Amino acid sequence: MEKKEFKSESKRLMDLMVHSIYTNKEIFLRELISNASDAIDKVYYKTLTDKDKNFNKDDYYIRIHPDKDNRTLTISDTGIGMTEKELEENLGIIAKSGSNDFKSEQEMEEGFDIIGKFGVGFYSSFMVSDKVEVETKSIDEEQAYLWVSEGADGYTIEPGELKSHGSKITLYIKENTEDNNYDEYLEPYHIQNLVEKYSNYIRYPIKMVTEKSRVKEETKDNENPEYETYLEDDILNSMVPIWRKNANELTDEDYNNFYQEKRYGYDAPLAHIHLNVEGMMSYKAILYIPGQPPFDYYTRDYEKGLELYSNGVLIMDKCGELLPDYFSFVKGVVDSEDLSLNISREMLQQDKQLRLISRKIDSRISEELKKMLANDREKYEEFFKAFGNQLKVGTYDKWGQNKDKLQDFLLFYSSKEGNFVTLKEYVERMPEDQKYIYFASGSSVEHIEKLPQVSIVKNKNYEILYLTENIDEFVFQTIGQYGEKDFRSVSSDNLGLEAPEENEEEENKEATEVDEKLLEKMKEIIGDEVVKVKTTGHLKDDLVYLSTEGDLSIEMEKTLNSMPQGGKVKAKKVLEINKNHPVYEKLKGFYEKDEDQLKLYTELLYNQARLIAGLPVDDIVLFTQNISKLM
């Protein structure tokens, strides 16, 4: 029989599983049970939407069967099964391309937590097995198939023997090693514990035949009664959905386990919200704020939404209408008795009841975040690191219609304390004479810190917000004003600062005729790339920088021009020169006496300023030749 190869990335992942450094191997059972439960959900849904099919509750269950003699553990379900093509597509490739992102071998060795980040579902079974068989029959096909793999080498598919739809996964459990006791995955009591820990709220019965002991009926009146063992089919899980329970019956661990079981994320959630609403519209919901963004979160592939149940029946696994875009990271379930089972996507959009729920959800998430920001700053910063960009997008999205709501959730890095502050905190501690909320943009905090124009504002003892994300300046532009204070870039040609005291005299006698002519000449040399060349008395050691006139900053210019359809926008750049620097005196000396030197110096200064601003130098060879000339 032909052996097929896994697609290359799957092969790597498989290798990783087989030689797993991941200590939490037991999660394989949760993954397989969740897949089984999803497969039954799919049949259930099919029967609800297809009048010819009936769903008989007793026919749907998951069965676990450990067999110590053969060292196998079997997990079977009566779900939808897979066709041959689906087997190939689902188990031959890792559909979740995010797993492809896992980095170098070295990172793998260092314990790069790929499972924590992406989840590996079915493949996790190779952490505990030498060989895995999947026998499956699709509800839509007569023929069953058997998929077999011993790991990274590949897999085979041949006809199987199952007669009714569903899947049967057989794991050939590894032998014990020094570090790992694989035997326990064949122990019924251990399996029972794992199911309770990870899969307790799976909605279908998880059955296992267990051996029990009892007093023999005929000896029960004896002084020393005899015992006998017998087999009983047990249901291992409680099945009552967690959202139907009272919040006070549940612990954080229960909520976290449910989150894991539902595979909302593979991390621990930062917070959960349990809603139990009675009234015009009655519903229950559990919402989570995850700890980490899913691998595809900031891509187009990410689909927001909550699971929507109608009285315990899953009707949609990602109902986007329930969440505003700015909270698209939230995961969870909503279950309402008042929703119709046959609700369609189109109807959902206009559904008043759903809008009622979504408004409530929106306000509860806001409340939760406010609480976190006020009471647990560390956690909030962790949250913001993960999802802050989404809140920023939300602030400027839709013409800023949600800015008032979202602006207080934003954090920015502050020059003052070297940590993150809110706009409120910034404005509240502004000195009285400070006119603006100052910000500086650049690729990193380290880069921004060194900008000449930053030192100007810092010397005044004013706090500066450091913006390192492309979107940041657009957010400020959308917010416009905070606490009646305007935002002002430190690269603006008008910083609203008093003239430096020690230079006051200098400042006043400014702009002699020579100065003016010199600056005009320099502007002429540089050409249209700048709108002006001017002097500044605010710089200490630095010689030049580029400021801008008007609303469009250099950072915005970069961002806009890097977009796929980005046109050629141009910020109105101003070359600012430190008039107290000896080089400025030199320039004055060159004026009218040595035009070539003036040209050389001007071009060098302009290009230096471009480099400081993170802009490319047009003719880098000429630039270096010019430096060489001076040297």
Ligand X SMILES: Nc1ncnc2c1ncn2[C@@H]1O[C@H](COP(=O)(O)OP(=O)(O)OP(=O)(O)O)[C@@H](O)[C@H]1O
Closest CA to 260 of 115, 153, 128: 115
The residues with which 232 forms a beta bridge, in sequence order, are 210
Residues 96-125 that bind ligand X (CB under 6 A): 96, 119, 121-123
Which is closer to ligand X, CB of 245 or CB of 263?
263
Note the residue count of the chain.
Answer: 631
Q: How far is residue 306's CA from residue 102's CA, in Å, rounded to a whole number?
A: 27
Residue 82 in marked binding region = yes
Instruction: Collect all residues with Cβ–Cβ distance below 8 Å to 321 and sequence separation of at least 6.
Output: 305, 348, 349, 351, 354, 355, 358
The amino acid that residue 618 corresponds to is: D
Location of structure tokens 């999660």: 27
Instruction: Output the smallest distance, CB 81 to ligand X, in A.
Output: 6
Instruction: Output the smallest distance, CB 572 to ligand X, in A.
Output: 50
Kindly give the residue spans of alpha helices, DSSP state H, lying in 166-234: 188-198
Backbone phi and psi for residue 176, each to the nearest 5 degrees, phi listed first: -60, 150
When binding is defined by CB under 6 A, the residue of 10, 35, 478, 536 that contacts ligand X is 35
Residue 316 in marked binding region = no
Residue 183 in marked binding region = no
Kindly give the residue spans of alpha helices, DSSP state H, lying in 270-341: none
Instruction: Output the smallest distance, CB 64 to ligand X, in A.
Output: 13
Structure tokens at 225: 């009664």
Which is closer to ligand X, CB of 243 or CB of 295?
295
The amino acid that residue 299 corresponds to is: T
User: Could you tell me if 75 and 64 are in contact, meaning their C-beta atoms sit under 8 angstroms apart?
Assistant: yes
Structure tokens at 143: 């023929």
Which is closer to ligand X, CB of 30 or CB of 534?
30
When binding is defined by CB under 6 A, the residue of 14, 17, 36, 242 that contacts ligand X is 36
Which is closer to ligand X, CB of 81 or CB of 500?
81
When binding is defined by CB under 6 A, the residue of 14, 17, 33, 39 that contacts ligand X is 39
Residue 97 in marked binding region = yes
Instruction: Output the smallest distance, CB 543 to ligand X, in A.
Output: 55
Residue 77 in marked binding region = yes
| Number of helices and strands in the chain (H, E) | 21, 22
Q: How far is residue 233's CA from residue 252's CA, in Å, rounded to a whole number?
A: 31
Instruction: Output the smallest distance, CB 206 to ligand X, in A.
Output: 13
Residue 419 in marked binding region = no
Instruction: Output the smallest distance, CB 258 to ligand X, in A.
Output: 15
Which is closer to ligand X, CB of 94 or CB of 533?
94
Residue 508 in marked binding region = no
Instruction: Output the smallest distance, CB 138 to ligand X, in A.
Output: 8
Residues 164-183 that bind ligand X (CB under 6 A): 167
Beta-carbon-side half-sphere exposure of residue 173 (alpha carbons within 13 Å): 25
Instruction: Output the smallest distance, CB 120 to ligand X, in A.
Output: 7
Residue 96 in marked binding region = yes
Q: In what order do the strands lie in the sheet with 464-467?
A: 420-421, 412-414, 464-467, 437-441, 485-489, 481-482
Q: Please give the full DSSP string across 413-441, using - where no structure is assigned.
A: EETTTSSEE-HHHHHHT--TT--SEEEEE
Site string for ligand X, 318-347 (x = CB under 6 A): ------------------------------
Residue 553 in marked binding region = no
Which is closer to ligand X, CB of 122 or CB of 420?
122
Q: Is 308 in the site for ligand X (CB under 6 A)?
A: no
Q: Which residue is nearest to ligand X (CB)?
A: 121
Which is closer to ligand X, CB of 4 or CB of 416?
4
When binding is defined by CB under 6 A, the residue of 263, 379, 416, 581 that contacts ligand X is 263
Which is closer to ligand X, CB of 44 or CB of 123?
123
CA distances from 460 to 121, 449, 463, 500, 539 (A): 56, 15, 9, 9, 12
Q: How far is residue 261's CA from residue 35's CA, in Å, rounded to a whole number?
A: 10
Which is closer to ligand X, CB of 258 or CB of 409?
258
Residues 75-94 that bind ligand X (CB under 6 A): 77, 79-82, 90
Q: Report CA dihedral (157, 158, 160, 165) to the nearest 10 degrees.
A: 40
Q: How far is residue 494's CA from residue 476's CA, in Å, rounded to a whole number?
A: 17
Instruction: Output the smallest distance, CB 47 to ligand X, in A.
Output: 16
User: Could you tell me if 76 and 162 are in contact, meaning their C-beta atoms sit under 8 angstroms apart?
Assistant: no
Which is closer to ligand X, CB of 165 or CB of 284?
165
Name the binding residues for ATP: 31, 35, 77, 82, 90, 96-98, 345
Point out the annotated binding site.
31, 35, 77, 82, 90, 96-98, 345
Chain positions contacting ligand X, by CB under 6 A: 31, 35-36, 39, 77, 79-82, 90, 96, 119, 121-123, 167, 263
